[in-house]
Amino acid sequence: MGRDNDQKKDKKKRKRSRENDKNIEKVVANEEKKVPTQQKPKQENEKSIEKVVANEEKVPIEQKQKQQGNCNQSKKKKNQEVYPFGNYRNYYGYRISNDTDEDPRLKVLKKEWFQGKDCLDIGCNSGIMTIHIAKKFGCRSILGVDIDSSRIEDAHWHLRKFVRMQNSAKSSEKNSSSEGKDGAHGSVEQSTSLSNGETKADNPETKDLSQIVSFQKENFVLTRNLDENRYDTILCLSVTKWVHLNWGDDGLITLFSKIWRLLQPGGIFVMEPQPWKSYENNRRVSETTAMNYRKIVLRPDSFQEILLDKIGFRTVEDLTSSLSGASKGFDRQILAFQK
């Protein structure tokens, strides 16, 4: 009899325990609805954030970045990588299919925009596109910048790999040509190539890629390290969305204005904006992007008008039609603006 009473007591304890667990779960689920008197309501915090955005001159953009960085860190999940700036690993592997020899966007770029020119690639990721542009079009110099130090490390690795391949090809070519040509013919050829007073070191076609291509970790929207530089051509390929989601409309205008300042007169700005649907797909990648998404007024279909009428570019050329039939991921609009 005593044992039966003990069993009944244990059952009652377990029942109460389960009920307590349920009550705790309800409290956690409704945490946002219950605002402690010691804390300001969430609505007041959102209003204060809107005031900060409205008073851009009063709050430095660097300070906003610190606040956003904290939001991004809190959004990260354990054992799961998050890319709040579009800084994906193996980005080109995901956008280029196995049956594609090169990035299709290279086919719509014009050689005269790059040959013998100083160029800048904003958001270069692992640097593959940057290196291919230098190799195919013969830039005098091209700098790739990216917000992620890991992607810049990848870019340096790819550059070393391309340089090794280049040197190996040159060595093989030199050995094969020396077997079939005499020294006199080689001397005449060399003197002809330098007849215009150009030295071998000045000719982009004779330079190693390591002398042409460089990479640097920079947050282009915030940095002042590039303010003294001037470029003939600037690329911003599939980057505008991430600037827009992380720094809002103000960050986008800062991006466009800085590109304008860094371009030489007559310089070219090549832009590949992501469509609004792409914003919708990535808006929840962090708390910052989710917040900015709700406040964005400037849509991608208005970028062309902004760059021509507000920023000051003279002309624009739509290169998109030349991408017809490109693999999925490269069917975005590509525009070339001239300063």
pLDDT digits 0-9 by tens, 187-206: 434 433 434 444 444 555 56
Q: Which residues of 191-224 are buried (b: 16+ CB within 10 A; e: fewer)?
A: eeeeeeeeeeeeebeebebeebbbbebbbbbbee
Cα–Cα distance list, 288 to 16, 66, 70, 238, 291 (Å)? 41, 11, 9, 19, 5
On average, the pLDDT of the chain sits at 76
Could you please state the CATH topology (level 3) that the domain comprising 103-162+207-338 is classified under: Rossmann fold (3.40.50)
Q: Is 329 left (phi over 0), alpha (psi -120 to 50) or beta?
A: left
| Residue 338 backbone dihedrals phi, psi, to 5 degrees | -115, 135
Which tens digit of pLDDT belongs to each residue from 243-282? 999 999 999 999 999 999 999 999 999 999 999 999 999 9
Q: Are strands 315-318 and 335-338 parallel, antiparallel or unpaired?
A: antiparallel
> What pLDDT score does 15 carry?
59
> What pLDDT score does 322 carry?
66
Domain regions of the chain by residue span: 103-162+207-338
Higher pLDDT residue, 70 or 314?
A: 314
Whether the per-residue pLDDT at 227 is higher than 90: the answer is yes
> What pLDDT score does 6 carry?
60
Whether the per-residue pLDDT at 29 is higher than 50: the answer is no
Q: What are the residues whose beta carbons fall under 8 Å from the beta carbon of 220, sequence distance 6 or more?
A: 122, 123, 145, 147, 226, 243, 255, 258
Q: Is the dihedral of CA 73, 75, 76, 82 positive or negative?
A: negative
Residue 36: pLDDT band (50, 70, 90) is: very low
Higher pLDDT residue, 230 or 29?
A: 230
In whole angstroms, give the CA distance from residue 198 to residue 207. 13
